[in-house]
């Protein structure tokens, strides 16, 4: 744990320093895009947070490569540097989009390229830890991996609409996932893949933690597409490195339930972005739009339209993520019925809060009136 703490601290310090510097540069040189009709914020804000996260990822990975305790991960470093290379691709595509707004086809092509780099270098869905199911076709494995990574990247990108939302959800989800991957890495199923997941989850936690103070409401710096795509890339890759690589034979009979956790936990920690992505795709296809066309009907927009304040909407989505992610992890520590009870109580409480917005005066500066769906990109 000490060495994971080391890379987390390095990532945090570098991310915070770069975030402050990029905020000052973005403000001084006006590296900002005009506010769009679907945006919640009122003034232009620099969208350079992804550069801070990438710089943090690069430095922390280089530091980890010099620590002998991580030599098992770097002994075959293709998967490590493939993730860094893929991160460079999505950050570059996202950064250009943040400045000039690329068409969705170009952005999707960049995402597929990045996902392909990761999958090509060995991080693939080759098995599903239920019933010992193994994918025998390398082509099928590659395609499923690329689709999964692209899905998660877009899902995370879709919820990036409120100050601190993606950063907070990432801290909660990745914190829970780190605990799980760390337990696997130190238990019966110790393999380099689980250490790989723990390392990059720790780096992601540190990178987002350093960025978070500048992204809290009112935000001084946004992740931008470069940052949200990077977060999604790392979350998807680390999840696949556990879920897609675990050998069910390594899990003893007494650990039958944990064998299901690799499938359930990634879904639980990503439930908010994945649900928002699914609803957005269905909504846009039904309206005859491209699934990648932007609108103002995301979950966070709907919470604002219900009457929740900016802070309330963010905390509600934090709550949903926490209940499902932590509740799923609890299956490892308590009886299954206790874990289910915890999840049920948490869901009931979250539902009550979600459906009970406080009354706000129309003069409330945080009040966002309902607007018709927009179709501009």
Beta bridge partners of 133: 128
CA-based nearest residue to 198, from 207, 208, 186: 186
Bin 163: left if φ > 0, else alpha if -120 < ψ < 50, else beta.
beta
Q: Is 190 labelled as part of a ligand binding site?
A: no
Contacts of 243 (CB under 8 A, 6+ apart): 125, 128, 129, 262, 263, 266
Q: Are strands 133-134 and 127-128 parallel, antiparallel or unpaired?
A: antiparallel
CB-based contact 83:123 (threshold 8 Å) = yes
CA distances from 127 to 15, 92, 144, 183, 330 (A): 35, 32, 11, 20, 24
Q: How far is CA 106 from CA 51, 111, 224, 292, in A?
A: 20, 9, 16, 11
Identify the burial level of 311 via C-beta atoms within 10 angstroms of its C-beta, where 0-12 means exposed, 13-18 middle and 19 or more buried.
middle
DSSP letters, 310-339, are HHHHHHHHHHHHHHHHHHHHGGGTS-HHHH
**Total Cβ atoms within 10 A of residue 316:** 21
Q: Does 157 appear as a known binding residue?
A: yes
Q: Residue 327 corresponds to which tokens in the numbers above?
A: 């509740």
Binding-site residues from annotation for Mg(2+): 157, 225
Annotated binding residues, as ranges? 157, 225
């Amino acid at each position: 744990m000490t060495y994971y703490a080391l890379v987390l601290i390095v990532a945090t310090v570098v991310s915070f320093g770069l975030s402050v510097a990029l905020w000052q540069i973005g403000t001084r040189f006006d590296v900002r895009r005009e506010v769009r009709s679907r945006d919640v914020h009122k003034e232009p804000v620099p969208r350079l947070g992804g550069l801070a996260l990438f710089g943090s990822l690069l430095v922390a990975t280089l530091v980890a490569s010099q620590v002998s305790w991580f030599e098992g991960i770097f002994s075959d470093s293709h998967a490590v540097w493939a993730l860094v290379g893929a991160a460079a691709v999505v950050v570059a595509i996202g950064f250009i989009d943040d400045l000039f707004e690329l068409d969705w086809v170009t952005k999707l092509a960049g995402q597929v390229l990045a996902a392909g780099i990761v999958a090509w270098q060995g991080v693939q869905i080759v098995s599903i830890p239920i019933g010992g199911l193994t994918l025998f076709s390398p082509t099928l494995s590659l395609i499923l991996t690329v689709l999964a990574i692209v899905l998660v990247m877009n899902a995370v990108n879709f919820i990036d609409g409120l100050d601190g939302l993606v950063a907070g959800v990432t801290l909660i989800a990745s914190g829970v996932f780190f605990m799980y991957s760390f337990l696997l890495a130190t238990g019966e199923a110790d393999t380099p893949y689980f250490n790989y997941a723990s390392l990059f989850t720790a780096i992601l936690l540190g990178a987002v933690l350093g960025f978070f103070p500048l992204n809290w409401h009112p935000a001084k710096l946004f992740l931008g597409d470069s940052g949200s795509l990077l977060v999604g890339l790392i979350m998807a890759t680390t999840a696949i490195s556990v879920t897609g690589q675990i050998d069910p034979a390594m899990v003893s009979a007494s650990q039958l339930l944990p064998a299901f956790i690799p499938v359930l936990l990634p879904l639980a920690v990503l439930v908010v972005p994945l649900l928002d992505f699914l609803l957005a795709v269905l909504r846009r296809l039904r309206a005859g739009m491209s699934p990648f066309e932007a609108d103002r009907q995301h979950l966070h927009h709907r919470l604002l339209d219900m009457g929740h304040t900016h802070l309330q909407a963010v905390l509600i989505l934090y709550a949903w993520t926490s209940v499902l992610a932590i509740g799923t992890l609890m299956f490892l520590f308590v009886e299954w019925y206790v874990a289910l009870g915890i999840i049920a109580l948490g869901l009931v409480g979250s539902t009550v809060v979600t459906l009970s917005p406080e009354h706000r005066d129309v003069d409330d500066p945080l009040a966002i009136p309902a607007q018709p769906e927009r179709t501009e990109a």
